[in-house]
Amino acid sequence: MKITRGQFIKGGLAASATGLFSLGSLRSRLNAAEPPTYPGKMIGASHQLGHLLRQSNLSRASDELRARVVVVGGGIAGLGAARRLMRAGIEDILVLDLEEEPGGNARSGVNETSAYPWGAHYVPLLTEEARAVRRLFEDLGIITGKDARGLPIYDEYMLGFEPKERLFRFGRWQEGLVPAIGTTPEDEAQYRRFFSLMNELKTQCGSDGRRLFAIPVDESSTDPHWRALDMLSMEQWMGREGFTSDLLRWYVNYACRDDYGTVFSETSAWAGIHYFASRNGQAANAESDDVVTWPQGNGWLVARMAEPLGPRLRTRCLAMRVAVADGGVIVDVWDANESVARMIRAEAAILATPRFISARLLPNAIERMDPSSFSYAPWAVANITLDAMPEGKGAPLSWDNVAFDSPTLGYVVATSQELGMKPLSTVLTAYWPLSHKTPSEARQDALGRSLDEWQRIFADDLLNIHPELSGHIRSIDVCVWGHAMIRPVPGFIWGEARQRAREPLGRLAFAHSDLGGISLFEEAYTHGVRAAEHVLTQLSVNYDSEL
């Protein structure tokens, strides 16, 4: 064994790994006796306002508005739809969102330390198939041009900076998220087999010439052989293929929880493989596994998309009922700004809301809407403001920091995209898919917890790996997403319910990421554009499809 100067003086390998005598565990134990309470606030989908939806007695509309098109929901799908309409010259539109700020799951916050995401925080390099999104990225200057080979050039300030990922295991950080320490030759062999299979699948096309696993999902090959994978769970598939390595299974389970909020035993194998085999984005100036990101995550995109809407975007406006009438759509709205009920008559409408909400808005079409086929994973997210930077032994602080033994997914660092060398304070966004119980049980638990309890849970989780941060937590804000992500359970992606859900009801079209079966920016945006183009067709407006 070669001993470096650092080890020689400090020791460090075993002694620190045991953590038994470490300063840290001692400190966090001392702290456990007297749990600190932190400043902070609870954020969340506006439950009170949302619950109005369940009440059947509507107050009478006090006035009536008209618009050519109404978009319900100001998430990515809704904003995308509105954008598509505006580009086709339909400017007489209204976009309604029940929250104070638009963005839905891609909302963000800001404090004196940094901007930070509340949910979606990045988009991978775009696949060939994500044509509509590519156009958006070009308009917003995320893609600035093409090189001689025709590859898109991304704005280098928006590409995720290195170091990107690290994993905490055995008391120290390693680079990357695939466990690399303490692996057996068998683990290594399975890693190689797994990742080379995934790489092959990335480029492989079906008999229809489409890639097997595409983003958006509906661009994928229709070959039944591959679609049949949707009937298995990812765990079953791994068993079938002889992927038995515990470390590999940990990693795949982590990936399913990360992207779908669902453990791998409940995720469809098609979706599980999709995570690894779909992202083949190319760029002139980035590697294929790069991402675009901002301190506020996809909140950056939300702001850019919402800005041109101006007063057409109405926040704190809850859609209560939607009815398809002759030659148009009527939307009943509760405007919480003025506490008045309004009726909006429009020539067409887009419901850019998750299916379980769309179903409530259309009580007469409940069978058609089939909400019970759509299952959603609850998540808890905390934004933790620090007046010191997390460190740790081994690999340096990265954008995404995951602890092997934690039930959470670790944390993302908002200041990672800062140009400065050494931020002295930061905001960490800690993500926790509540996938340990059934969604409804976990949702009940989650909504029942107080801010104080959440803060303690998140603080303990953080201090466990970063004892040095005790005393440096300035505040912890928490958000509970009751229905954060659609769950691609076996049979859902290529099942009938999802296919049917896309179909419009005359002049009423549907747009939401859940229609894609997986919660991704590209799905949300593309479904928004698709719904908008359906409306354009209905209104007999000429357009060149962006899809």
Q: Give which of 164, 165, 140 is closest to 154, Cα–Cα.
A: 140
CB 502 within 8 A of CB 515: yes
Separation between Cα atoms, residue 202 and residue 280, nearest integer Å: 6
Nearer CB in complex with ligand FAD: 243/294: 294
448 binds, among another protein, ligand FAD, none (CB under 5 to 8 A by kind): none
Q: Per CB under 6 A, which region of 102-110, 382-390, 420-428, 455-463 contacts ligand FAD?
A: 102-110
Whose CA is closest to 19, among 401, 407, 388, 466?
466
Smallest separation, CB 204 to ligand FAD (Å): 24
Strands (E), 359-407: 376-386, 400-403
The label of the residue with tokens 């140009």 reads 419
Asked whether position 137 contacts ligand FAD by CB under 6 A, the answer is no
Q: State residue 166 phi and psi, 5-degree precision.
A: -145, 155
DSSP assignment of 189-232 equals: HHHHHHHHHHHHHHH-B-TTSSBSS-SSGGGS---HHHHGGGGS
Q: Which stretch binds ligand FAD (CB under 6 A): 100-108, 134-142, 391-399, 499-507?
A: 100-108
- Residue choice 280, 296, 353, 408 for contact with ligand FAD (CB under 6 A): 353
Q: Looking at 220-228, 308-316, 416-424, 436-444, which segment touches another protein (CB under 8 A)? A: 416-424
Q: How many chain residues interact with another protein (CB under 8 A)? A: 37
In whole angstroms, the minimum distance from the beta carbon of 278 to ligand FAD comes to 12
Interface with another protein (CB under 8 A), residue from 145, 424, 444, 500 = 424
Stretch of 116-124, 178-186, 229-237, 454-462 lying at the interface with ligand FAD (CB under 6 A): 116-124
Residues numbered 428 to 467 that lie near ligand FAD (CB under 6 A) are: 431
H or E stretch including 475? Answer: strand 473-486
From CA 223, how far away is CA 207, in angstroms rounded?
Answer: 7
For residue 35, give both structure tokens: 């749990």
**Does position 159 bind ligand FAD by CB under 6 A?**
no
Is residue 8 part of the contact set for another protein (CB under 8 A)? yes
CA-based nearest residue to 412, from 397, 425, 423, 422: 397
Q: Does 30 bind another protein (CB under 8 A)?
A: no
Residue 419 within binding range of another protein, rule CB under 8 A: yes
Judged by CB, which is closer to ligand FAD: 38, or 275? 275
Q: How far is the CB of 13 from another protein (least distance, A)?
A: 5
Q: Are strands 313-314 and 93-96 parallel, antiparallel or unpaired?
A: parallel
Residue 10 or 500: which CB sits closer to another protein?
Answer: 10
Residues 158-177 that bind another protein (CB under 8 A): 159-163
**Residue 106 binds ligand FAD, judged by CB under 6 A:** yes
Tokens 């602080």 correspond to 397
Pick out residues in 482-521 that bind ligand FAD (CB under 6 A): 484-485, 512-513, 519-521
Pick the closest to residue 430 from 396, 407, 447 (CA basis).
Answer: 407
In whole angstroms, give the CA distance from residue 4 to residue 276. 37
Cβ at position 353, least distance to ligand FAD in Å? 4
Residue 115 and residue 109 in contact, taking contact as beta carbons nearer than 8 Å: yes
Angle of CA points 481, 449, 466, to nearest 5°: 85
Rounded (10°) CA dihedral 52, 57, 59, 63: 90
Are 244 and 265 in contact, with CB atoms under 8 Å apart? no
- Residue 290 lies near another protein (rule: CB under 8 A): yes
Only segment of 98-106, 242-250, 272-280, 470-478 that touches ligand FAD (CB under 6 A) = 98-106
- 12 counts as binding another protein under rule CB under 8 A: yes
Nearest to 538 by CA among 73, 218, 92, 69: 69
Which residue lies nearer to ligand FAD by CB, 247 or 319? 319
User: Pick from another protein, ligand FAD, none: which does 160 bind, CB < 5 to 8 A by kind?
Assistant: another protein
216 touches ligand FAD by CB under 6 A: no
* Site for another protein, rule CB under 8 A: 1-15, 21-23, 26, 156-157, 159-163, 285-287, 290, 396, 418-422, 424
List residues binding ligand FAD (CB under 6 A).
53, 72-78, 96-99, 104-106, 119-123, 318-319, 352-354, 357, 379, 381, 431, 481, 484-485, 512-513, 519-521, 524
